[in-house]
Amino acid sequence: MTGEVYEFAAFRFNPSTRELWRGDQRVELPRRTFECIEHLIAHRDRAVGRDELVEAIFGRSNVSDAQLGQVVLRARRALDDDGNAQRTIRTVAGYGYRWVADVRVAAAAPESAAETMPAVEPPEPTPAAVTIAEAPAHLPPPSSSRPRPRRRRVLAVASAVVLLATVAVSLTWLARRAPPADSPSPTAQPLQADSVVVLPLQVDGLRDDAWVRLGAMDLVAERLRQAGFRAPTSESVLALLKSEPESSAEPPNLRATTGAHLIVRGSAKRGASGWQIELAAAPEHGIAVPVRFTGRDAMQATRGAADLLLAALGRNMPSESERDRSLDETLQRARAAMLANELDTAREILTASPDLAASSAQLAYRLALVDFRAGQLDRAEASLDQILRQPEAEHDAHFRAQVLTARGAVHARRGEFADGGRDYDAAVALLTPEKDPLELGQALMGRANSRVPERRYDEALADYGAARTDLERAGDPLGIARVDANLGLLELFRSRPAAALGYLLPASDRFQSFGALHELLVSLTGIVQAQLAMLQRNEAAASVERGWALRERVTDPDQRVDLLLNQVEVQTGNGRLREAAAALAQARASTTSGNRVLQARLRALGANLAAAQGDWHEAADEAAAALTDWPPSGADEQRSGVVLVRQRALLALGDKARAETLLDRRRDPPEQPLDSAGVVTEALAMAEWEQQAGDAARARRWFRFAAVSADRRGVPAEIVLVAEAWAPVLLAAGDREQAAVVIGRVAPWATRDFDCALLQLRLFHALNQREPWFNALRQAQALAGERTIPAALLEPRTLDANSPLRLSDRAR
């Protein structure tokens, strides 16, 4: 590329001098951002694969999708582009990126003249999707006067909020009940910090001994916890290890991420006389504490080495209960398979155990958890129901609590929050923080998640706080991050999107550092919803891309559909209706677990998209299907939004009789604003009904109530929703003064939201202020996507043939 300068839009890009100019202003670029632009321009004749671009920018392959996405995001911003418009850099779904802006190649100027080179006057950009017949060039087509739907946040949070607790349930069964921890000996000298991380052991043995790597790690961590140490769960440690390059034996940020003072490393070697286990506990500063133990089998040797290590660290060994060591080994091997996501292997290990065969309840419980992990919810629930009727579950309180927690997770996964809450209630009553901190923390988090959709917020907050304390006591940093993410989802349920982002953004980074894919994707769905509510459209699109880049690693069918629905929602809101329709079709063709909340979200988004496309028959049918099978709890606010879409569709079709039955039309608006769920959208439905019925005074009262309630709730998307519905009514009635007040309320968002931009256009057109009208028209065109602007707004109300502001001149 040496010796050539590339010109596009208002920019000049000079690879030789490594400069980017916007007109006569130099744009500062980080090195990787510059190399991203350089590589894409050099290969603008084709799409550039993700791996190729990573190699060109970073010079290595072990780079996360999030890192690459950040570079592309900075490149787009430098070029006045974003993930919505994609005027210069387009995402090629499932592959990579492509340069799409028109480029002119010019010879490079001498270096001495580089800064005095005159800026190139670019042509006016033409929105690709804005074309019409019988209208001036470069202007959007006319639309009918049909009511245009406002995109709504629908059900994503209700679908996500239960998953952060249920994901951990299937890995809490590693052994039978652990004995309570003994107090440290009065003469012992404990370390200043009691936090420890145990890493997988290095194994030198036969092929069938591979399970020892994780099984021994898990047993050592359990023994340390029994003696009073705070050790993260094995799944937390493995998730963190998976987030690092494979060539790295240990993450460089291990201590910082886990807060561990001691790191235990070890090895296991099979010999002629048995197993030799070596462990070494390394503090942050100082020398490691090594121990070695030889035993006839792997579990005996591991237990002995762990107890020697405890003694060397000044802790008493945990009291031995009468546990069958053969059963211990079976459970450790099965857990190792579960940690590696080898679910069929875990089933084989469990069913082949004669010790478990002697206890049908214990075997059935562990197999049910494997089924839950595999997404076989019906089979898991049937097994758990049967176990709860057996004598062992009736007489062993700890075991019964485990089974109840597992069944609560099944209910929650299906969106059956009331049933799940009852199971969690019963489990919490059977557990104590001293003996069961991990199980109690998970049961409390599950109960909190079941209470959120029922809007029992104070009780949920209390449970989250208690769960966090118990999980800290158990040494589970990943569980703590789950609590924090759920607190963010709770804030989103309470219509506090800004507060939600304060929890969810750092939690998502923590999940990414742990490599916790499931939790990361759930938190990203919450982030997308919060960003849409805040009208942060570019940020929401970037969050969708961040999640979509991970789709190949997603095995949960429900979560794959959720990723698609995030795309549908964001693309519909950005006016990219064809892409939204393609994603919706893919979601409809996907197999799911039957989660009612997810199905309701799919249908509600389908209704919203159909309305945006002007297909009122489809919108009415989809909304009706969503409302028919609406979940009994967890989505009251979103339900009122679907009612509004269905009413608009029925009225557009002239079916007033069915529209009238959607709500109680005899009600009067309350005197004071409310902040309850669904109050704004329901008030708008009432206002629009009264308006079409010809009662303008009653409609105005409902509109005003919707406006003051939206202001009280303080959610930008709801404030815009009211303005978009009410302002055209005011303008049509000739009340320009009140319309200016309503539209002025949302004016700050006109540069990033099409509905706000369109309201500005309506106002200035009605006021016949041609310079503001023209600027508003340009802004609306830039944000329109495939949406149309009413034909009446495309020309000023009066034209002066001698005016320098003639549209035909401006459009050139």
Task: Write out pLDDT tens, residues 406-455.
Answer: 999 999 888 788 899 999 999 999 999 888 888 999 999 999 988 888 88
User: Which residues, 6 or more positions from 792, have their beta carbon under 8 angstroms from its beta carbon?
Assistant: 142, 765
Q: Which residue has the higher pLDDT, 360 or 161?
A: 360
What pLDDT is recorded for position 727? 97
Q: How many CB atoms lie within 10 A of CB 321?
A: 10
Query: How many angstroms separate the CA atoms of 297 and 295, rounded?
Result: 6
Helix residue spans in 629-714 (DSSP H): 636-652, 656-660, 679-692, 696-713
Residue 163's nearest CA partner among 470, 523, 567, 419 is 523
User: Which residues, 6 or more positions from 705, have their beta carbon under 8 angstroms from its beta carbon?
Assistant: 669, 670, 673, 683
Q: Which residue has the higher pLDDT, 198 or 91?
A: 198
Is residue 573 within 8 Å of 539, Cβ to Cβ?
no
Q: Which residue has the higher pLDDT, 215 or 533?
A: 533
- In this structure, which amino acid lies at residue 400? R
Q: Which residue has the higher pLDDT, 632 or 703?
A: 703
User: Which residues, 6 or more positions from 234, have their beta carbon under 8 angstroms from its beta carbon?
Assistant: 171, 174, 198, 214, 217, 218, 221, 335, 339
**Residue 544 pLDDT exceeds 90:** yes
Looking up tokens 């409609």 gives 699
What pLDDT is recorded for position 310? 83
Query: How many angstroms separate the CA atoms of 259 and 52, rounded?
Result: 37
Question: What percentage of the chain exceeds 90 in pLDDT?
Answer: 43
Query: How many angstroms separate the CA atoms of 447 and 461, rounded?
Result: 11
> What is the residue-averaged pLDDT of the chain?
81
What pLDDT is recorded for position 498? 93
* Highest mean pLDDT pick, 242-246, 432-436, 783-787: 783-787
Environment class of residue 545 by beta-carbon count within 10 Å: exposed (0-12), middle (13-18) or buried (19+)?
buried
In sequence order, what E strands does 462-542 have?
Answer: none
* Highest mean pLDDT pick, 44-58, 340-354, 698-712, 784-798: 698-712
Whole-prediction pTM = 0.63
**Residue 775 pLDDT exceeds 90:** yes
What pLDDT is recorded for position 69? 76
Minimum mean pLDDT range among 316-330, 547-561, 668-682, 786-800: 316-330
**Residue 228 pLDDT exceeds 90:** no
Q: Which residue has the higher pLDDT, 227 or 393?
A: 393
Minimum mean pLDDT range among 45-54, 151-160, 661-670, 699-708: 151-160
What pLDDT is recorded for position 158? 58
In angstroms, how far is CA 366 from the centroid of its own chain?
A: 30
Environment class of residue 752 by beta-carbon count within 10 Å: exposed (0-12), middle (13-18) or buried (19+)?
middle
What pLDDT is recorded for position 743? 97
Q: Which residue has the higher pLDDT, 769 or 115?
A: 769
What pLDDT is recorded for position 192? 37
- In this structure, which amino acid lies at residue 310? L
* Highest mean pLDDT pick, 182-191, 530-539, 587-596, 669-678: 530-539
pLDDT in tens, 256-288: 777 788 999 999 998 887 899 999 998 877 677
Question: What percentage of the chain exceeds 70 in pLDDT?
Answer: 80
Query: How many angstroms separate the CA atoms of 713 and 707, rounded?
Result: 10
Average pLDDT over residues 477-494: 89
Residue 785's nearest CA partner among 603, 565, 613 is 613
Task: Using pLDDT thresholds of 50, 70 and 90, give the confidence band for residue 587.
Answer: very high
Task: Using pLDDT thresholds of 50, 70 and 90, give the confidence band for residue 127.
Answer: very low
Average pLDDT over residues 99-120: 58
What pLDDT is recorded for position 794? 94
- In this structure, which amino acid lies at residue 268? A
- Tokens representing 102? 């028109």
Q: Which residue has the higher pLDDT, 415 or 698?
A: 698
Average pLDDT over residues 712-725: 96
- Tokens representing 310? 């405890």
